[in-house]
Chains A and B, each alone.
Chain A
């Protein structure tokens, strides 16, 4: 039986101070050009929490607005205010920095994260109001320490500072005196990733209504590595996050593939469930501090706000077939192989047209394609263009070449089968998976019958190979025939309603 997508969560954490202190564009600039105009101007381009709440792409990410609604808004979006500015959405939430710092401390099990006691006292009540937080997590938050001790740790012990509104409010200590893999910098990066993954997992439990005990396996697909000097990248983020999230019955492992990681992980999750190895698998990923403000120089140069100020995260719950939720079809898998090559045409052929050809389908049989859903508001001013659109142009061109669509229908294709990007440029976060939440809803509502999720990864960045990578899979409407023996809850409700209606009709007839 094919596995199904029970639900998905999408979360953001607004981390403006980490843009300044932890984004690699900024940390590199501070080393090579410490007196640069960019560093001087940067603080004036940081957005407030209220501004990120009313930013259109963020509201789409957490599910309060749809991709179609976003597409109808004229670009650029940074200078427009979304008519919804809620912190919570149907898929997740946009967490403010102060609560995220507390969550980081709750996710630390080695007493490395230290927070100022006054900061903890001021903000812990707000975190307690968060509907996805429970007592087990709140109980992990300590009372904090004296601010002077934090300042000493940063200045004398190589600790990584944690800042809020420009003030030092905490730090992450190194986990070893010599091991660079356990340095304060690495521990900070990894704990941010873990905390955002935990928030995504908690949100997935909250939005799907599953019991935490149902989860048997978790796959983390972020782009960070945890381990010590003897096993750099040994893992396991998945189990570490599952522990904090309270998924006591779960084990897990990490899947890596740069930005293609989430798509690889989804296919693996579907295979694990379809094979019967596990009944419920959750694919999760936290975000990346290094990429904060990655294109900041171009944004500042053009007078834009720093738009890469959000840590992203997501989680997808994959379960056994319930006869209702959309299925993952493992018979239509795209794969970029070792022999595929790196030319854009070859890449898209391997991921899109080749699997469809094998399945006897046309490009037009896929209602929506979700390749890399980077927000063009971020990438266009930086000269990287509209990434989703570039993917769509190549898919459309191949569709014409195959005779699936007429050349005259190119424009139609690029309006009907596409999505406008809304995800933050957090590497793996925008890669195919941002649409899964909406795709599930569109499939359940009968708006579409098939969606293709496409993940692509830049393996060459690791300097181990010059190869590119990518995989794709199809989510489709539940065939219904795979429903387990018996009847579903909806069917039971329908049967009861029918029986009551007939009973009422009988009573009325007797009364007459």
Chain B
């Protein structure tokens, strides 16, 4: 298991980088519990 196993994670994705949903999918597959996920825009 990865370093995220059993951890709670808060995700802020970047609209021009990696979307929050994609990060959440990765984190979940690594055993993390996603407590918040959003994608933000800085431009």
Contacts from A to B (Cβ < 8 Å): 258-259, 294-295, 342-344, 372, 374, 379, 382, 384-385, 387, 390, 425, 427, 430, 458, 460-461, 466, 468
A391–chain B nearest beta-carbon distance, Å? 9
A387–B16 CB distance below 8 A = yes
Q: Given the known inter-chain contacts A390-B16, A458-B15, please indicate yes or no for A384 contacting B43, CB distance below 8 A.
A: yes
A379–B42 CB distance below 8 A = yes
Residues in chain B near residue A343, CB distance under 8 A: 19, 22
Q: Is B39 an interface residue (CB 8 A)?
A: yes
Give me 22 A-to-B residue pairs in the complex whose CB atoms sit less than 8 angstroms apart, sorted by A's number: A259-B41, A295-B42, A342-B22, A343-B19, A343-B22, A344-B18, A372-B16, A379-B42, A382-B42, A384-B14, A384-B16, A384-B42, A385-B17, A387-B16, A425-B42, A427-B41, A458-B15, A458-B39, A458-B41, A461-B40, A461-B41, A466-B21
Residues in chain A near residue B21, CB distance under 8 A: 342, 466
A385–B16 CB distance below 8 A = yes
Residues in chain B near residue A460, CB distance under 8 A: 38-39
B27–chain A nearest beta-carbon distance, Å? 16
A387–chain B nearest beta-carbon distance, Å? 5
B22–A427 CB distance below 8 A = no
Q: How far is the CA of A344 from the CA of B42 in the complex (A)?
A: 17
In chain B between 1 and 42, which residues have their CB closer than 8 angstroms to a CB of chain A? 14-19, 21-22, 38-42
Residues in chain A near residue B42, CB distance under 8 A: 294-295, 379, 382, 384, 425
B35–chain A nearest beta-carbon distance, Å? 16
Summarize B's interface: helix, strand, loop or mixed.
loop
Q: Given the known inter-chain contacts A384-B14, A460-B38, please indicate yes or no for A372 contacting B43, CB distance below 8 A.
A: yes
Q: How far is the CA of A382 from the CA of B22 in the complex (A)?
A: 22
Known interface pairs A259-B43, A343-B19; 19 further A-B residue pairs with C-beta atoms within 8 A, sorted by A's residue number: A258-B41, A259-B41, A295-B42, A342-B19, A342-B22, A343-B22, A372-B16, A379-B42, A384-B16, A384-B17, A385-B16, A387-B16, A425-B43, A427-B43, A458-B39, A461-B41, A466-B21, A466-B39, A468-B19
Residues in chain B near residue A390, CB distance under 8 A: 16-17
User: Which has the most chain A C-beta neighbours within 10 Å: B14, B17, B41?
Assistant: B41
Which chain A residue has the least Cβ–Cβ distance from B39? A460
Residues in chain A near residue B43, CB distance under 8 A: 259, 372, 374, 379, 384, 387, 425, 427, 430
User: 6 tightest A-B contacts by CB?
Assistant: A342-B19, A458-B41, A425-B43, A458-B15, A384-B42, A374-B43
Residues in chain A near residue B38, CB distance under 8 A: 460
A97–chain B nearest beta-carbon distance, Å? 23
Summarize A's interface: helix, strand, loop or mixed.
loop
B37–chain A nearest beta-carbon distance, Å? 9
B18–chain A nearest beta-carbon distance, Å? 8
Q: How far is the CA of A417 from the CA of B42 in the complex (A)?
A: 26
Q: How far is the CA of A434 from the CA of B33 in the complex (A)?
A: 42
Which chain A residue has the least Cβ–Cβ distance from B22? A343
B24–chain A nearest beta-carbon distance, Å? 10
B20–chain A nearest beta-carbon distance, Å? 8
Q: How far is the CA of A398 from the CA of B42 in the complex (A)?
A: 26
Which chain B residue has the least Cβ–Cβ distance from A295? B42
Which chain B residue has the least Cβ–Cβ distance from A375? B43
Q: How far is the CA of A390 from the CA of B18 in the complex (A)?
A: 12
Residues in chain A near residue B17, CB distance under 8 A: 384-385, 390
B16–chain A nearest beta-carbon distance, Å? 5
Residues in chain A near residue B39, CB distance under 8 A: 342, 458, 460, 466
Which chain A residue has the least Cβ–Cβ distance from B40? A461
Residues in chain B near residue A425, CB distance under 8 A: 42-43
B32–chain A nearest beta-carbon distance, Å? 19
Residues in chain A near residue B40, CB distance under 8 A: 461
Q: How far is the CA of A259 from the CA of B15 in the complex (A)?
A: 11
Q: How far is the CA of A256 from the CA of B18 in the complex (A)?
A: 24
Which chain A residue has the least Cβ–Cβ distance from B37? A466
Which chain B residue has the least Cβ–Cβ distance from A426? B43
A309–chain B nearest beta-carbon distance, Å? 16
Q: How far is the CA of A379 from the CA of B42 in the complex (A)?
A: 8
B17–chain A nearest beta-carbon distance, Å? 7
Q: How far is the CA of A425 from the CA of B41 in the complex (A)?
A: 11
User: Which has the most chain A C-beta neighbours within 10 Å: B17, B39, B41, B43?
Assistant: B43
